[in-house]
Amino acid sequence: MKILVLNCGSSSIKYQFIDTEIAITLAKGMVERIGMAGAVLSHTPHGKEKIRIVGEILDHTIALEYVIAVLMSPNHGVIKEKEEIDAVGHRVVHGGETFSGSVLITNEVMRAIKENIELAPLHNPPNIKGIEATMKHLPETPQVAVFDTAFHSRMPSYAYHYGLPRTLYKRHKIRKYGFHGTSHRFVSQRAAFMTGYEIEDLKIITAHLGNGASMAAIKNGISIDTTMGFTPLEGLLMGTRTGDMDPSVILYIMGKEGLSLGEANTLMNKHSGLLGISGESSDMREIEEQIAEGNKRAKEAFDVFTYRIKKYIGAYAAAMGGLDVLVFTGGIGENSVNVRKAVCDNMEFLGIELDANRNENANEETELSSSASRVKILKIPTNEELVIALDTEKIVNEISRSEPPEDGTVAFN
């Protein structure tokens, strides 16, 4: 099946066109600066050079028109007509408590995604724009929503409740939701495959370390806890986000510095984390370069980053009553030899022993643990687009075999 995977942001659309039968991305690209001067579409067909098209792209509907046109273009395209797009899979950030798996998009589902806008005011609206644009250009093509939150939807209530009055949970749905679920799901399933065990028999910690970073405790295939919370701000230190912090700190700063709600939000999300502590960069590669040049603030940022990961490994091993597999993924998890080394240092008491040689020479999917290590340490490149494509295929196959249920929900975890 040929599936167009869309990840729509406020001013961008990332896409991959995947042939699930041969598991190949036929083309991928991105439209940037939607609604701004000098919007750009960059497009890379499989095995060919990247091309760039600059144009006036006022909204997501026009952006998608460009994407479909370039997919069909005689020189850079990979299909002849748009009917060759069998289905469209969308990354949708917030499924709230409504969605515990991927679903076929129906009017009912759209209403529910819209109801969750309050929980993700920056993310769900552009996701909705992408779905509506697809409805305009490909009205006959089935669309599927794959939620970042869904994999964490079976967390026990003692893991997701905050210590706030219950009315706030009832009135405003304030609780931990967790994000990066598609990635945590993918790498935990790959981890089970790589170790040769059933996922139902494993206790896995997955560390998705990118600009945004989160960890999950996955016991018997179920995410029982995760570091991100009501929003992606909680948990690990990130490129520009604070992660865990005494909530009183922000009230104190707002008072002292006279910050508005919006300014406080920007401070915690955009000016903090690695960038805030180092004063240099939000990018781990640059942090490591600075450390090599003797920059102490960069080293401090690196230490805060790795220390938190270490702490959560201990916490999640306790939460699961043991640990079998530790997975590193995301740009930093997949590429930073130093971060993996610092995280695994002195963790023998938990059965975690990194093999220095394997760590330094890791490419693609690899085991990094020493032969003495009780815990398997794995590097697994994440592939959220493939998960979205496979979920989409599964749901479309399901509905073509039977009539869709009234509300359109066909859940896959």
Nearer to ligand ADP, 19 or 286 (CB): 286
Is residue 225 part of the contact set for ligand ADP (CB under 6 A)? no
Burial of 39: CB neighbours in 10 Å, binned 0-12, 13-18, 19+: buried
Q: Residue written as tokens 């240099």?
A: 280
Is residue 381 part of the contact set for ligand ADP (CB under 6 A)? no
Residues 344 and 336: their CA atoms lie apart, in Å, by 13
Residue 266: CB minimum distance to ligand ADP, A:
18
Stretch touching ligand ADP by CB under 6 A, among 57-65, 207-215, 253-261, 289-297:
207-215
- Single out the residue of 89, 130, 181, 330 in contact with ligand ADP (rule: CB under 6 A): 330
Q: How far apart are the first and last CA of the chain?
A: 20
Is residue 383 part of the contact set for ligand ADP (CB under 6 A)? no
Q: Which residues of 257-273 are buried (b: 16+ CB within 10 A; e: fewer)?
A: eeeeeeeeeebbbeebb
What mask, x for binding ligand ADP by CB under 6 A, covers residues 238 to 277?
-x--------------------------------------
Q: Which residue number has the CB closest to ligand ADP?
A: 331
Stretch touching ligand ADP by CB under 6 A, among 68-76, 205-213, 218-226, 248-256:
205-213
Stretch touching ligand ADP by CB under 6 A, among 136-144, 225-233, 325-333, 392-400:
325-333
Instruction: Kindly give the interhelix angle for 296-320 and 337-344, rounded to the nearest 10 degrees.
Output: 50
Nearer to ligand ADP, 78 or 344 (CB): 344
Is residue 95 part of the contact set for ligand ADP (CB under 6 A)? no
Q: Kindly report the number of other CB atoms within 10 A of residue 129's CB atom.
A: 20
Please, which residues bridge with residue 369 across strands? 354
Residue 287: CB minimum distance to ligand ADP, A:
8
**For the chain, what is the largest distance between any 2 Cα atoms, rounded to a whole number of angstroms?**
64
Residues 318 and 315: their CA atoms lie apart, in Å, by 5
DSSP assignment of 223-276 equals EEEES--SSTTSSS--SS---S--HHHHHHHHHHHT--HHHHHHHHHHS-HHHH
Annotated catalytic residue within 19, 59, 86, 148: 148
222 φ/ψ angles, rounded to the nearest 5 degrees: -115, 135
Is residue 324 part of the contact set for ligand ADP (CB under 6 A)? no
- Single out the residue of 11, 42, 211, 366 in contact with ligand ADP (rule: CB under 6 A): 211
Size of residue set near ligand ADP by CB under 6 A: 13
Residues 1 and 33: their CA atoms lie apart, in Å, by 31
Alpha helices in 6-152 (DSSP H): 60-72, 107-115, 124-137
- Single out the residue of 45, 243, 331, 408 in contact with ligand ADP (rule: CB under 6 A): 331
Residue 239: CB minimum distance to ligand ADP, A:
6
C-alpha closest to that of 230 among 293, 156, 178: 178
Is residue 30 part of the contact set for ligand ADP (CB under 6 A)? no
Nearer to ligand ADP, 30 or 68 (CB): 30
Is residue 182 part of the contact set for ligand ADP (CB under 6 A)? no
- Under DSSP, the state recorded for 354 is B
Residues 306 and 340: their CA atoms lie apart, in Å, by 8
**Radius of gyration (Cα) for the chain, nearest Å?**
22
Q: Which amino acid is residue 113, in one-letter code?
A: I
- Single out the residue of 109, 131, 332, 388 in contact with ligand ADP (rule: CB under 6 A): 332
Catalytic residue list contains 148: yes
Tokens standing for residue 381: 């490149």
Residue 57: strand, helix, or coil: coil
Stretch touching ligand ADP by CB under 6 A, among 20-28, 198-206, 209-217, 320-328:
209-217
Residues 243 and 282: their CA atoms lie apart, in Å, by 14
Nearer to ligand ADP, 288 or 355 (CB): 288
Nearer to ligand ADP, 147 or 328 (CB): 328
Nearer to ligand ADP, 50 or 285 (CB): 285
Interface with ligand ADP in residues 277-306 (CB under 6 A): 283-285, 288
Interface residues with ligand ADP (CB under 6 A)? 210-212, 239, 283-285, 288, 330-332, 335-336
Residues tagged active-site: 148
